[in-house]
Amino acid sequence: MPETVLLKGVRRYGEGEPVDVLAAEGVIAEIAQGITPPEGADVIDAEGHVLLPGFVDLHTHLREPGREDTETVATGSAAAALGGYTAVFAMANTDPVADTAVVVEHVRRAGEAAGLVDVHPVGAVTVGLKGEKLAELGTMAESAARVRMFSDDGLCVHDPLIMRRALEYSRALGAVIAQHAEEPRLTVGAQAHEGTQAARLGLAGWPASAEESIVARDCILAAHAAARLHICHVSASGTVDVLRWAKQRGTQVSAEVTPHHLLLTHDRLDTYDPVNKVNPPLRTGADAKTLREALAEGVVDCVATDHAPHAEQDKDCEWQAARPGMLGLQTALSIVAETMVRPGLLTWRDVARVMSERPAEIARLADQGRPIAEGEPATLTLVDPDARWTVRGAEFASIAANTPYEGMELPARVTATLLRGRVIARDGRIR
């Protein structure tokens, strides 16, 4: 049922004088100062808060089907809504793998049943993520799920012929191929960023060249196929150089960086705590600095969480046996505020670009990442820029609690999320 919501005293994109924003019938009906609340309207006092378009996450692991003990589409949707997200892309490495119309349609229906955010299934590039045979890309694209992003994330599409064919097919489908860039022959047994820290800790190294070489190869293939390529979770300085070169040549390549690669480094591995184990691994302070600068410059297009819930037994174990991945949906905005806004690398308007507008463009979502203007969809995120809060993984909406930020005090917090005029999250609770 349509809601009428009045946001009082907000600053659009963190700019200008405070205004009131009235949402009715799913759209922004009026923006002005001193709007009188209509009868029955839900009035949110948001004086001093920043109003942004709803966030879009191109890289989320919802674990359903197959690992509902760690996350479901419903619990992941709740975490997304609380984190300010209004659309998420659910990766294909489920069990069974999302490589057929049946599985992607199941994920889409589960998202619709949860009713909190728009859940877009990502289809696998290859059957079973094995990298040997193309999956049914056309069938998934034409299914009720309308898949427009394909990825074997968690594994690299390492065969150049398979990758070339995937790019060619994706062009015809109006889709994008999202690549987990990791040359597998260079990362056999890898456990941490290859460098002095890994050597000192006795951990097998994951060289940056394993990422850089695949990105360079795939940029060349994408250019020849005139297709769109998206690079997942960029982690290395050298990758930024390759992306800059490819974009200067006119290659249709986009890239994402995770919040954890903006903030955390391999120095955290001293404790051997598997909560810090992630793929690609945490790298050096110099890499993190380059990634922050690249995001500000636009060489790296957007922020994506790579939200990866894991059961306690898959993380509370010895390092070698632990699964890689971290929670990200409910902390992403705060990490971006800490690493990018506070140092002056991004304004709040820029945050809208890297967390909403650009991801929506990459995914070609017509109704997400829209301007905050009258007549536009009331799909919005309200942020208290002055808030301080302490991370407690057990309090998250996710079933899992594997956050590397446990106990950290972080700046800025999402206070409300609206999806097409409906308040889906407010003050840390799902509506």
Q: What is the pLDDT of residues 319-360, one digit of tens each?
A: 999 999 999 999 999 999 999 999 999 999 999 999 999 999
**Residue ranges of the chain that CATH labels 3.20.20.140:** 54-363
Distances (CA, A) of 195 to 140, 199, 239: 41, 6, 17
**Domain 4-50+375-430, CATH number (from 3.40.250.10, 2.60.40.420, 2.30.40.10, 3.40.50.300):** 2.30.40.10
Q: What pLDDT is recorded for position 241? A: 98
Q: Is the pLDDT of residue 1 over 70?
A: no
How far apart, in whole angstroms, are the C-alpha atoms of residue 284 and residue 281?
Answer: 10
Quick check: 385 and 336 in contact, CB under 8 A?
no
Q: Is the pLDDT of residue 22 over 80?
A: yes
306 is catalytic: yes
- What is the pLDDT averaged over residues 386-408? 98
Give the number of other CB atoms < 10 A from CB of residue 100: 18
How far apart, in whole angstroms, are the C-alpha atoms of residue 237 and residue 252?
Answer: 20
Which helix or strand (DSSP H or E) is residue 259 part of?
A: helix 259-263
Q: How would you label 28-53 residue by residue, b for 16+ Cβ within 10 Å and e otherwise?
A: bbebeeebeeeeebbebebeebbbbb
Q: In this structure, which topology does domain 54-363 adopt according to CATH?
A: TIM Barrel (3.20.20)
Rg (CA), the chain: 21
- What is the pLDDT averaged over residues 26-50? 96
Q: What is the pLDDT of residues 80-109, one digit of tens each?
A: 999 999 999 999 999 999 999 999 999 999
**Residue ranges of the chain that CATH labels 2.30.40.10:** 4-50+375-430
Q: Catalytic one among 118, 306, 314, 350?
A: 306
Q: What is the pLDDT of residues 146-193, one digit of tens each?
A: 999 999 999 999 999 999 999 999 999 999 999 999 999 999 999 999
Q: What are the backbone dihedrals phi and psi of residue 19, each rounded to the nearest 5 degrees, phi first?
A: -135, 165
How far apart, in whole angstroms, are the C-alpha atoms of residue 17 and residue 48?
Answer: 10
